[in-house]
Amino acid sequence: MDTLSDAYKAHPLDLGDIIPIDFSSSPAIPDSHTWFQPNDDHFSSDDPASSIPVIDLLDPKAKELISLACENWGAFQLTNHGIPLGVIQGAEEEAERLFSLPTEQKLKALRTPDGAAGYGRARISPFFPKGMWHEGFTIIGSASHDVKKIWPDDHARFCDIMEDYEKQMKVLAERVTEMLFDLLNISEEKRKWVGANDTGTALQLNFYPSCPEPNRTMGLAPHTDTSVITVVQSQSTGLQIFKEGKGWIPVHPHPEALIVHLGDLAHIMSNGSFCSPLHRVTLNEACKRYSIAYFYSPPMDHVLSPLVTGDVDSAAQFRPVTVKEYIEIKAQHFGNSLSLIRI
Ligand SMILES: C=C1C[C@]23C[C@@]1(O)CC[C@H]2[C@@]12CCC[C@@](C)(C(=O)O1)[C@H]2[C@@H]3C(=O)O
Ligand SMILES: O=C(O)CCC(=O)C(=O)O
Ligand SMILES: [Fe+2]
């Protein structure tokens, strides 16, 4: 069975697009990371009334509310999700422990140019002229291969905590995906992969160092996720979702919630009725920010074919593609990928 790394093999990155700068020795924003000039006004005003909904998973109306959120936003915050607070905090502490290491130690686990796992800049970096104020660490399957390079004698704690985190996220992601598939009337045949062990999952630890001039640079540049769903934990502000006609809308993290985004694969499967929202991360002058994103996707050979109901107006908007084919298209064409498979 192909893996995520197999999908990236044909599109290796330049080392310059993998190695982050040393943010601790950058008291000012270097030109390579300057996105906006001092008087640019790129940051929209804060209107909490119009942000993504907070949904209680135990609410009897949860499925209806999720349906509305997927159509209107493609994202929501989820409370009563069943993941113990200790698991969430434990994973964040480990992320903090890893990113606090000196640069030379983190670079021992640098992602290879044609690989998917390890330490480095966001995969989308080559599509933007400027660098992001961000470091990432991607885990696919077990973290131990990469973490042993960083902590040869002390990798077990990190690996155990991340393994437990992934197990718990898998249960939640399966539950939410089943709800989405019920809403879309996806057949048993097409949802057989949910709950299997060979799905295309990945865990991404994100670190956004505090930044001397947060309005002149970018944490994570605007992108849509590739997954069916992504479950994100972060207690800090900074995440913004683009809403047509409204602009960039901040997400105010609910203290007990996890954030769920739909990715491009959900947009394709729903034949465009569920959004795959464009989102980005902004920075803070005083605080570092951590987040952990769990990407849940079908296995690489799964064929994505949009749901059609048989009505005249419900003709398929996208041609069938395998997950691997879509990831390869996205590795090459990024933001244009959905239009390249549109019929
Ligand atoms: C499974 C994956 C989704 C992801 C690419 C990756 O191979 C692992 C990292 C993920 C991430 C995290 C930051 C934003 C993003 C767009 C990126 O550059 O790397 C996502 C990718 C994605 O959703 O396509
Ligand atoms: O840091 C965040 O809140 C979001 C991260 C994200 O969008 C991603 O990892 O794809
Ligand atoms: Fe994302």
Q: Is residue 79 part of a domain?
A: yes
Please give the number of the atom of ligand 2 that sits closest to the Cα of 293. 9
Q: Is residue 64 part of a domain?
A: yes
Question: Is 232's C-beta closer than 6 angstroms to any atom of ligand 1?
Answer: no
Q: Which of 121, 123, 216, 289 is catalytic?
A: 289
Amino acid at 217: T
- What percent helix, strand, coil does the chain show, rounded to 5? 35, 20, 45
**Over residues 274-296, mean pLDDT:** 97
At residue 313, the pLDDT reads 65
Q: How many residues does the chain have?
A: 343
Q: Is the pLDDT of residue 53 over 60?
A: yes
At residue 43, the pLDDT reads 63
Please give the number of the atom of ligand 1 that sits closest to the Cα of 297. 1
Choice from 134, 235, 281 to test ligand 2 binding pocket (greatest atom count within 8 A of CB): 281
Q: Is the pLDDT of residue 31 over 90?
A: yes
Which residue's structure tokens are 């002058």?
Answer: 285
- Distance between start and end Cα atoms, the chain: 28
**Helical axes 62-72 vs 156-183, angle rounded to 10°:** 90
At residue 25, the pLDDT reads 78
At residue 41, the pLDDT reads 66
Residues 6+ apart with CB under 8 A from 11: 114, 328, 331, 332
What is the extent of the structural domain holding 220?
4-39+57-300
247-250 and 220-223 strand pairing: unpaired
Mean pLDDT over each residue of the chain, to the nearest integer: 93
- For the beta carbon of residue 37, count every other beta carbon within 10 angstroms: 8
Measured CA to CA in angstroms, residue 162 lies from 89, 170, 175, 197, 207 at distances of: 11, 12, 20, 17, 16
φ, ψ for residue 321, nearest 5 deg: -140, 150
Q: Is residue 313 part of a domain?
A: no
Instruction: State both tokens at 162.
Output: 């991340």
Torsional sign, CA 291, 280, 295, 254: positive
Residues with CB under 6 A from ligand 2: 204, 206, 220, 225, 232, 234, 239, 279, 281, 291, 293
Instruction: State both tokens at 112.
Output: 């290879």
φ, ψ for residue 300, nearest 5 deg: -60, -30
Per DSSP, what are the bridge partners of residue 281?
220, 239
**Over residues 186-190, mean pLDDT:** 92
ipTM at complex level: 0.98
At residue 200, the pLDDT reads 85
Q: How confident is the model at residue 136 (pLDDT cuts 50, 70, 90)?
A: very high
Please report, for the domain that includes residue 160, its CATH number.
2.60.120.330
Q: Is the pLDDT of residue 49 over 60?
A: no
The residues whose Cβ lies within 5 A of ligand 3, an ion, are: 225
The per-residue pLDDT for range 240-273, each reduced to its tens digit, is: 999 988 899 999 999 999 999 999 999 999 999 9
Query: Are the CB atoms for 282 and 234 separated by under 8 Å?
Result: no
Please give the number of the atom of ligand 2 that sits closest to the Cα of 206. 1
Calpha distance 121→301 (Å, rounded): 27
**Over residues 113-117, mean pLDDT:** 94
Q: Is residue 343 part of a domain?
A: no
Instruction: State both tokens at 38.
Output: 């001092």
Instruction: State both tokens at 335.
Output: 């933001």
Q: Of all residues in the chain, what percent carry a pLDDT higher than 90?
A: 85
Q: Is residue 160 part of a domain?
A: yes
φ, ψ for residue 251, nearest 5 deg: -100, 125
Choice from 226, 265, 267 to test ligand 1 binding pocket (greatest atom count within 8 A of CB): 226
Q: Is residue 80 part of a domain?
A: yes
Q: Is residue 112 part of a domain?
A: yes
For the question of residue 289 being annotated catalytic, the response is yes
Question: Is 331's C-beta closer than 6 angstroms to any atom of ligand 1?
Answer: no
**What residue spans of the chain are helical by DSSP H?**
4-8, 62-72, 85-99, 103-106, 144-150, 156-183, 264-269, 323-333, 337-341
The per-residue pLDDT for range 157-182, each reduced to its tens digit, is: 999 999 999 999 999 999 999 999 99
Calpha distance 269→320 (Å, rounded): 10
Instruction: State both tokens at 274.
Output: 């569920």
Calpha distance 305→321 (Å, rounded): 7
Query: Are the CB atoms for 109 and 119 separated by under 8 Å?
Result: yes
Q: Is residue 333 part of a domain?
A: no
Q: How many domains does the chain have?
A: 1
Q: Is the pLDDT of residue 297 over 80?
A: yes
Cα 287 to ligand 1 centroid, rounded to whole Å: 24
